[in-house]
Amino acid sequence: MTENKFKGGNCMNKKIRYSVLGAGNGGIAIAGYIAMKGYEVNLYNRTEENIMSLIKNPIIHLTGEIEGCGRLNKVTDNIREAIENTDIIMVTVPAVGHKFISQNIAPYLEDEQIIILNPGRTGGALEVYENIRNSECTAQDVVVAEAQSLIYACRITGNNEVHIFKSKKEVSLSAIPASRTEEVISKISPIFSQFIPAKDVMETSLNNFGAIFHPAPTLLNSGHIERGITFDYYTEGITPSVGRFIERMDKERMEIADKLNIDTMSAKDWLYETYGSKGDTLYDAVQNNPAYKGLKSPKGLNIRYIYEDVPCSLVPMSSLAKQLDIETPAIDSIIVLSEIITGKNFWEEGRTVKKLGLEGLDKFQIHHLARTGKLLDNKEGVVA
């Protein structure tokens, strides 16, 4: 591993300038909200065709829980133009695009810029940090952070319009290095007050509830989805039996976190903490969650709930579990099922411990890498 070339910087007292990379549901919602709050924000998307309406008229209309509109400073398919002279780079592309984004922004990064993955899924910040460190990046002071989840439950509803069903009450966030986490949160808190600090990016990665709520309901409802039957994805797609399966997956996730001394909670408790949704079982809590009302099922199986969440959420969890001698039959069954249905080798494509730089490390070394960005030769004095 190369020498860590990122180092501490100062929190400047100025109005923060943002760039948002990715014009999907989350990207449009985040960019529109930032602009609505009066901040300068650039929006980037790799495919120009998908942002043409915003290039012609750079105003995003927000409906639902948040009502208003925001005018974007710049809309472009040129990634250098998007991040130039900005302070916060909000990455909202699916996790499978994190490698592409990190490799393409690396030559243009500037000192004191902060990259935030919204969300990182599992191992996102580690992957991006490693890609940038091993690139031709000349900036000496860049922070990579990841959010545990996307802050909004939202959907694009038309040209230049996004509907926000619900904002999460709290979303944990951590940076590499972890000593910069509070600084990152303080910079974005005037807009996004929901972010709270996590100990390190292993904590945000293993509190990845998208891994629990996305792939299994999609695959276990694949027949309905392929026939074009529209249903409420969560409240109708998660039946009592599907709920029990998800709880088993969630138990395996918590076993991994426990082995690494990571603070976590069950998916059922997360629904309460995030949305105020109560229930004796996960199924009950889902049914009682107002944020999930009206969120429709996907229109096909070629979606990020499989192609993102399996290789970038479940594969790294399963890979880490194997290194820790933990069995994950429920998680593994979803990986296998998704590979059979799609014909993809997600184990080959996905984030394994080897790709994340975690192979062969014990829990002390894993946390040290997550908190400092450096490998630990001697684990003495490091507390997980």
Q: H or E segment at 298?
A: none
Among candidate residues 87, 200, 250, 309, the one labeled active-site is 309
373 secondary structure, DSSP code: S
Single-letter amino acid, residue 13 = N
Residue 111 a catalytic site member: no
**DSSP per-residue codes, 93-139:** S-GGGHHHHHHHHGGG--TT-EEEES---SSHHHHHHHHHHTTT---
Residue 98 a catalytic site member: no
Among candidate residues 61, 214, 367, 368, the one labeled active-site is 214
Is the Cβ–Cβ distance between 204 and 33 less than 8 Å? no
**DSSP per-residue codes, 266-292:** -HHHHHHHHH----SSHHHHHHT-GGG
* 118 closest CA partner among 97, 100, 141: 97
Residue 304 burial class via C-beta count within 10 angstroms: exposed 0-12, middle 13-18, buried 19 and up: buried
Is the Cβ–Cβ distance between 169 and 193 less than 8 Å? no
Q: Which residues are catalytic?
A: 214, 309
